[in-house]
Amino acid sequence: MTAVETEHKGWLGRSVKRKEDARFIVGRGNYIEDIKLPNMLHMAILRSPFAHAKINSIDTSRAMELPGVVVVVTGDVLAEHKLAWMPTLSGDTQAVLATDKVRMQGQEVACVIAEDPYVAHDALELIDVDYEPLPVVTTPQAALEDGAPVIRDDKEGQTDNRIYHWEAGDAEATEQAFAAADKVVRLVTHYPRCHPAPLECCGCVADVNPATGKATIYMTSQAPHAHRTVFALVAGLPEQNIQIISPDIGGGFGNKVPVYPGYVVATAASLLLGRPVKWIEDRTGNLISTGFARDFYMDGELALKEDGTMTGLRVKMLSDQGYAYADAQPSKFRAGLFHIVTGSYDIPAAHVVTDGAYTNKAPGGVAYRCSFRVTEASFFIERLVQTAAYELGVDPAELRRQNFIPPEKFPYTSATGFEYDSGNYEPALDQALQRVGYKVLREEQKRAREEGRLLGIGLASFTEVVGAGPSRHYDIIGIKMFDSAELRVHPTGKAILKLGVKSQGQGHETTFAQIVAEELGIPPEDIAVQEGDTDNTPYGLGTYASRSTPVAGAATAVAARKVRDKARKLAAHLLEASEDDLEWSGEGFAVKGAPDRAKTIQEIAFAAYTDHPEGMEAGLEATNYYDPPNMTFPFGTYAVVVEVDRGTGAWDVKKVVAVDDCGTRINPMIVEGQIMGGLTEGYGTAAMELITFDEDGNCIGSNFTDYLLPGSWETPAFELGETVTPSPHHPIGAKGVGESATVGSPAAYVNAVIDALAHAGVRNIDMPLTSDKVWSALNEVGLAE
């Protein structure tokens, strides 16, 4: 018998080093490109140079003659197998390979399958396609004009380019609030299109065994289980014969949620040829054809009383979705969770009108470093509040404080229908102000202006909504958004935890082991965490939109508690005591008042296989499919100080303070890493990341020379603070932090920068805030040199 320590330190809140890094830093990660199967073929994709064109013919004969080419697949070949089109995760359809027309630049037109990847790429140049260019639609506004070319004329009954119209809130109450308002502030803005640009592009190795019919598909998937179901539905393959394996993934950021044509063609080719087929996407393919982010046009107004009290909000949003509605949005919420746009404020009436339109661009609108479309909402409300503070001539910090939802009002039902479970916004604001030295800075700003220097201090608060979600409201193509954990403790007290989610770099192998360690006292190094293999993990909806911790993290805690319940029974048997007389020490059970009569979890685990009482099943394991009762609502406030060069318009970030609240932090080091990632993304969008299109629909931003991502050199240093308001319904009080955001909010960072520039004299400019635009804005108000 081993004495159990009476004082247990606990595993939550410890910056345990990331277990997974051991293999990454010695180059032993296992990414798609590392997978090499015997007899494997290679696939390359021919993409359309036109944004909109009729396909008159495709001649593959010259390509077929190139030695090493096995087959060239076209849309017509796929159509024979009813595979030319596939469903999207938002219930629309998307071409696998184009048949009648191409509808975006970069669209997949044909695939070469060859013995060697270089031969496959060379053969692309030998495919002759006769295109007949059609008029191109590059903005959602143009798409909705009368007489605009109907992009999705393949869809029966589709007579225009509208995808959806969706509203939230109370139109009438909002009208009344505006009618009674003393002041109305309006903002028209655009959150431009950008791209998640993960370090690893997409890819797969499809291996359909001709003898057994089993399809093993290694792919870059953030949602392997959901993808398996889609494959079963698209290809008609029996689901038990499809195994999706997501090995290590080099970043996802929402970009690896949609199903892409490359996966489908490689699988179909493997099925037809009886050999494994590998497809590795190149950078241009990734940037021009896969899930982009943002591209919301927003026009809204805030109604206020004379004293600055907010009384109403109305927003019209128009989304540029590209040629297919293909991002995964919960089916009840056509514009994602954009209706969180009331943010941190107690606004009694709100009404949101959203429309989505087809354009001749790549589909997307993915949950990039945020929950579904929440970044766009955070961006909008905070810019509106900044504008209100400016127009009312009041301190932006005080206007926020005055209108924050007060702590006693939680749980709080927002005017657009969310029930915020918890929140306490002022401490985060106060901490940000205090850390940045707000009062002193405002004085310094005045002095600097007198000296001719342009210094700006910007603020932004945010409340986001993550952890999708309660299954009564949230589903993806009908599959409810629960998630799962299966925990098995082996005889020697070591454990294996299998999850329905899938890390793309977030450190799940460490943090989820910490949750088990906290609940069962088994140290994290003794717990193996497995994800991403659909044959060997329980069904789940995957990792995106900051849902892993709120949903699968909760499932893990609940499964561990079930294991502990059985461990109590086993301990009672071993200690010959009543279950009620036992207490949990953090590392095992002891008889109350007799700490020497104790059993560690390891001893109990051994007994589960060697000495369990009669009538009890052997083994020590549990499964939980967790359906969260509500979403979680992380929040925070950021402050940014910038100085602008009057001669060039260049702006320099002097200081960034980010105070985030994600409830209980499981691993503070990992959370801080996530926050810094989110802030860097915000910096990138503010300063340089932009994907635009010329009038012919050519994508400007198809490579890293044109599409600029910030590196460590230009990214400013961040000072991080925290407040802790646990989620009341989460088993361990954690809220999500996103795969580098939600806290670590890019929107809040962007807003704080824009606000800081505005206070330095640069008003009304849109992202990216390039120095030439800043200089022109300064010039207009006579501040440029």
* Contact residues for ligand CDP, defined by CB under 6 A: 506-508, 511, 543, 546-549, 662-667, 670-671, 674, 734-739
387, 187 contact by CB (below 8 A): yes
Q: Which of 94, 105, 107, 222 is catalytic?
A: 222
Residue 189 or 630 with smaller CB distance to ligand CDP: 630
Q: Is 115 exposed, middle or buried (0-12, 13-18, 19+ CB in 10 A)?
A: middle
Alpha-carbon distances, residue 82 vs 75, 440, 635, 706 (angstroms): 10, 68, 47, 38
* Residue 509 burial (10 A CB sphere; 0-12, 13-18, 19+): buried
Indicate the residue among 14 and 162 with the shorter CB distance to ligand CDP. Answer: 14
Q: Least distance to ligand CDP from the beta carbon of 320, Å? A: 25
Cis bond before residue 411 (omega within 30° of 0) = yes
Structure tokens at 670: 């990992």
The verdict on whether 240 is a catalytic residue reads: no
Nearer to ligand CDP, 254 or 456 (CB): 254
In angstroms, what is the minimal distance from the CB of 673 to ligand CDP?
A: 8
The distance in angstroms from the start CA to the end CA of the chain is: 80
* 370: annotated active-site residue: yes
Nearest to 384 by CA among 300, 269, 506: 300
Structure-block tokens of residue 436: 């940045």
Which residue, chain included where needed, has tokens 């590059």? 138
The 3-class SS string of 588-601 reads EEEECCEEEEEEEH
Q: Among residues 12 and 429, whose Cβ is nearest to ligand CDP?
A: 12
Contact assessment for residue 466 and residue 735, using Cβ atoms and an 8 Å cutoff: yes
CB of 566 to ligand CDP, least distance (A): 25
Element (H, E) at 607: helix 601-610
Give dist(CA 699, CA 50) in Å, integer: 10
Give the distance from CA 701 to its chain's centroid.
21
Q: How far is the CB of 738 from ligand CDP (least distance, A)?
A: 5
CB of 464 to ligand CDP, least distance (A): 11
Do 762 and 702 meet the contact criterion of CB atoms below 8 Å apart? no
Residue with Cβ nearer ligand CDP (553 or 701): 553
CA-nearest of 484, 481, 397 to 441 is 397
CB of 671 to ligand CDP, least distance (A): 5
253/693 with CB nearer ligand CDP? 253
Q: Residue 146 contacts by C-beta under 8 Å, 6 or more apart in sequence?
A: none
Q: How far is the CB of 553 from ligand CDP (least distance, A)?
A: 6
**Is the Cβ–Cβ distance between 492 and 528 less than 8 Å?**
no
Distance CA 133, CA 86 (A): 24
Pick 286 or 506: Cβ nearer ligand CDP: 506
Exactly one of 369, 373, 564, 646 is catalytic; which is it?
369
Contact 655, 457 (CB under 8 A): no
**β-bridge partners, 624:** 485
CB of 485 to ligand CDP, least distance (A): 13
Q: What is the three-class DSSP state of 703? A: coil
Side chain identity at 351, as an amino acid letter? H
Of 382, 519, 587, 739, catalytic: 739
Contact assessment for residue 540 and residue 482, using Cβ atoms and an 8 Å cutoff: yes
- Our CB check for ligand CDP shows the closer of 12 and 347 to be 12
User: SS3 sequence, 670-727?
Assistant: HHHHHHHHHHHHHHHHHHCCCCEECCCCCEECCCCCCCCCCCCCCCCCCEEEECCCCC
| Distance, CA of 632 to CA of 468 (rounded, Å) | 9
Q: Is residue 579 a contact partner of residue 568, using CB atoms and an 8 Å limit?
A: yes
Residue 369 falls in the annotated catalytic set = yes
Q: Which is nearer to ligand CDP, 368 or 749 (CB)?
A: 368
Q: Please say which residue, 74 or 463, places its beta carbon nearer to ligand CDP.
A: 463
Cα–Cα distance, 548 to 222 (Å, whole number): 11
Rounded least distance, CB 501 to ligand CDP, Å: 7
How near is the Cβ of 467 to ligand CDP at its closest, in Å? 8
Helices (H), 58-202: 61-65, 75-80, 117-124, 140-143, 171-179
CB of 674 to ligand CDP, least distance (A): 5
| C-alpha to C-alpha distance for 209 and 627, rounded to whole angstroms | 36
C-alpha span between 625 and 492 (Å, rounded):
26
Q: Residue 532 phi/psi, 5° resolution? A: 85, 0
CB 231 within 8 A of CB 89: no
Identify the active-site residue in 111, 204, 370, 699. 370
CB count within 10 Å of CB 645 equals 17
C-beta of 234 vs 666, nearer to ligand CDP: 666
Which are the catalytic amino acids? 222, 369-370, 739
